[in-house]
Amino acid sequence: MTSLAPVDTALLLPMATHVALAALLYVLLTIARAPAIWGIGRRADGSNPWATVEPRISANLSNQFEWPLFFHVACVVLMLLGTHHAAIALAWFFVAGRVLHSGVQVLTTNVRLRGLVFTVNFLAVLGLWGLLLQRALAPA
């Protein structure tokens, strides 16, 4: 039986932090939907006090399974190939950007600001893929 090469786990914490963000969004979505689904927390008139924010939480949660997919794939491959400080910095930059993006999307309706914050996430992932390609294609 052959053993696998050791895996560099430095990118695991930023990945786990992004998973925790998605879990938090699930909790927030459950709370926001509770008045409509279970009747818990309804206003006296029967309305949902979270009705305006619930669609934004839902949309943001869906966003966590779009572009971040490329983040997670790059991190896994970089863990197998070996990471360096630039990849770790880009990973944390991505996670900070995702947290900021979630805050902007859930708490505001400012699409322009959300787009600017998304650009941070977008560039961080492109940077990770650039490092990945450089690492994978460099002569041994």
As for how many domains the chain has, the answer is 1
Q: What CATH number does the domain containing 31 carry?
A: 1.20.120
Return d(Cα 116, Cα 101) in angstroms, integer.
Answer: 9
Residue at 1 is within a domain: no
Mean pLDDT of 103-115: 96
Residue at 2 is within a domain: no
Asked whether residue 1 carries a pLDDT value surpassing 60, the answer given is no
CB 48 within 8 A of CB 54: yes
- Enter the pTM of the model: 0.88
Mean pLDDT of 113-138: 95
Residue at 5 is within a domain: no
Q: How confident is the model at residue 5 (pLDDT cuts 50, 70, 90)?
A: low
Instruction: Say what the pLDDT of residue 45 is.
Output: 83
Q: Give tens-digit pLDDT for 23-64.
A: 999 999 999 998 887 777 777 787 788 889 999 999 999 999
Query: Which residue, among 60, 59, 56, 52, has the nearest Cα to 35 in the 3D structure?
Result: 52
The DSSP code sequence of 95-132 is HHHHHHHHHHHHH---HHHHHHHHHHHHHHHHHHHHHH
Return d(Cα 135, Cα 126) in angstroms, integer.
Answer: 14
Structure tokens at 65: 């399974």
* Percent of the chain residues topping a pLDDT of 90: 71
Residue at 4 is within a domain: no
